[in-house]
């Protein structure tokens, strides 16, 4: 019997009733069909899930299909089609080695290519949706392959059509369009620009951007590293709240306020948590707020899923009591409620 703690970066979670690894598209579809009406949990790297200590009463399908096709055209750049089971960061490294620009600021994000569109992964001023041209899926309801254009994916901040319809679509492969070139897009994230020693809006070589992003991430425990327990996490546990202008105006002076394109305001979940009295390194049993980044809930070594969830609830409660804002989990909760 597979223990899900062995397949998740938080290293918590009980047994799966049934566990299969699938390495080809036909195996993926066959495994889904074989599960029949039993509950299914699709996983890739397990870096964005919190699984209950009681485990999963159904079939866990771990996607490990590998494929990479590249077509390069002087006008339209590189069109790359990647199997869902490929490791995201290994794919990013390949694009940079081959001189394709675009994904450099997304270096070091753990997990698989197939999970990247689900929550529209993002970091250092860019989101993966900027580079995706299509996503090919298996529609479990219609029992047929369905391809989504970028627009049809309905990407938003840390969400997509797939996240909004949990369990329906299994991503088989993802197609990206990248520019050929040695220089990055303009760097819009001030912390990264400062690290690169350039002004915001300037460009830098893509391999240099990658190295600097990896260094920044490592310093925050946001790079998977078995020896760094601050990285025994699921990344940012909560999304940055998007609130009305009226609510934003009531926040204290120092609170970050980033206007969104639809007239709302995004604020920082990390700032809210830190200013509600929670500190880096705070513990609850074996669960711990990262010692490097207040937004990451971590397993200090012996945590249970229950303890991680209790720590998350206490952060939510502190922020709600202090600021009246409800933090929403970015992490996918499997058999766990906040
Ligand atoms: C240290 C650390 C740092 C992180 N930093 C970032 C960051 O900077 N930015 C960011 O956006 N995220 C970040 N994350 C979160 C995580 O890396 C991403 O969400 C990643 O895309 C998850 O990939 P995965 O393969 O591990 O997905 P899993 O955790 O295995 O699954 C996540 C969700 O996607 C579903 N899923 C997975 N594969 C498929 C598929 N092929 N088809 C359909 N559904 C699927 C699962 O059912 C689940 O709901 C971080 C996580 C960690 C641990």
Kindly give the number of the ligand 1 atom that is closest to the alpha carbon of 223: 1
DSSP codes of every residue in 146-167: EEEETGGGT-BTTB-HHHHSTT
What is the pLDDT of the chain when averaged over all its residues?
Answer: 96
158 catalytic, yes or no?
Answer: yes
Q: Is the Cβ atom of 240 under 6 angstroms away from ligand 1?
A: no
322: CA distance to ligand 1 center in Å?
Answer: 30
User: Cα–Cα distance between 11 and 183 in angstroms, integer?
Assistant: 38
Q: How far is the CA of 109 from the centre of ligand 1 (A)?
A: 9
Largest CA distance in the chain: 56
Structure confidence by residue, pLDDT tens digits, 241-255: 999 999 999 999 999
* Cβ–Cβ under 8 Å, residues 51 and 336: yes
Which run of H or of E encompasses 230? none
Residue-wise pLDDT for 208-224, tens only, equals: 999 999 999 999 999 99
63 closest CA partner among 33, 104, 19, 98: 19
Q: Is 310 a catalytic residue?
A: no
Whether residue 231 has its Cβ less than 6 Å from ligand 1:
yes
Kindly state if the Cβ of 331 falls inside 6 Å of ligand 1.
no
Verify whether residue 136 is a known catalytic residue.
no
Nearest-atom number in ligand 1 for the CA of 41 is: 47
pLDDT tier at 319, thresholds 50, 70, 90: very high
Question: Are 248 and 267 spatial neighbours (Cβ–Cβ below 8 Å)?
Answer: yes
Active-site annotation holder among 9, 184, 236, 300: 236
What does the pLDDT look like over 94-114, one tens digit per residue? 999 999 999 999 999 999 999
On the question of pLDDT at 36 being above 90, the answer is: no
Q: Is the CB of 224 within 6 Å of ligand 1?
A: yes
Counting Cα atoms < 13 Å in the Cβ hemisphere of 323 gives 29
Going along the chain, which residue ranges are E strands? Answer: 16-22, 40-43, 49-51, 56-63, 68-73, 77-83, 100-101, 122-123, 126-127, 132-139, 144-149, 169-180, 242-243, 258-259, 265-266, 283-284, 287-289, 297-299, 332-334
């Amino acid at each position: 019997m597979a223990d899900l703690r062995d397949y998740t970066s938080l290293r918590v979670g009980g047994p799966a009733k049934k566990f299969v690894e699938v390495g080809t598209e036909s195996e993926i579809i066959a495994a889904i069909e074989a599960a029949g009406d039993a509950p299914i949990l699709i996983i890739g790297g397990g870096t964005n899930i919190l699984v209950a200590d009681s485990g999963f009463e159904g079939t866990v399908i771990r996607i490990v299909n590998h494929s990479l096709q590249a077509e390069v055209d002087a006008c339209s750049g590189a069109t790359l089609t990647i199997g869902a089971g490929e490791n995201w960061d290994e794919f990013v490294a390949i694009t940079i080695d081959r001189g394709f620009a675009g994904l450099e600021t997304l270096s070091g994000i753990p997990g698989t290519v197939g999970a990247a569109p689900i929550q529209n992964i993002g970091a250092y001023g860019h989101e993966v949706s900027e580079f995706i041209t299509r996503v090919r899926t298996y529609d479990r309801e219609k029992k047929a392959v369905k391809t989504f254009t970028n627009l049809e994916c309905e990407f938003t901040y840390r969400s997509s059509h797939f996240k909004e319809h949990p369990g329906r679509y299994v991503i088989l492969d993802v197609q990206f369009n990248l520019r050929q070139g040695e220089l990055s897009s303009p760097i819009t994230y001030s912390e990264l620009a400062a690290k690169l020693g350039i002004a915001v809006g300037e460009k830098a070589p893509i391999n240099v951007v990658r190295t600097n992003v990896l260094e920044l991430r490592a310093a925050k425990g946001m790079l998977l590293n078995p020896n760094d327990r601050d990285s025994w996490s699921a990344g940012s546990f909560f999304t940055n709240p998007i609130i009305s202008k009226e609510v934003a105006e009531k926040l204290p002076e120092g609170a970050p306020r980033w206007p969104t394109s639809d007239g709302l305001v995004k604020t920082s979940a990390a700032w809210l948590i830190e200013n509600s009295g929670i500190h880096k390194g705070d513990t609850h049993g074996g669960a711990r707020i990262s010692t490097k980044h207040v937004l990451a809930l971590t397993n200090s070594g012996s945590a249970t899923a229950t303890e991680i969830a209790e720590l998350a609830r206490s952060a939510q409660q502190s922020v709600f009591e202090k600021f009246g804002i409800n933090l929403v989990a970015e992490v996918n909760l499997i058999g766990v409620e906040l």
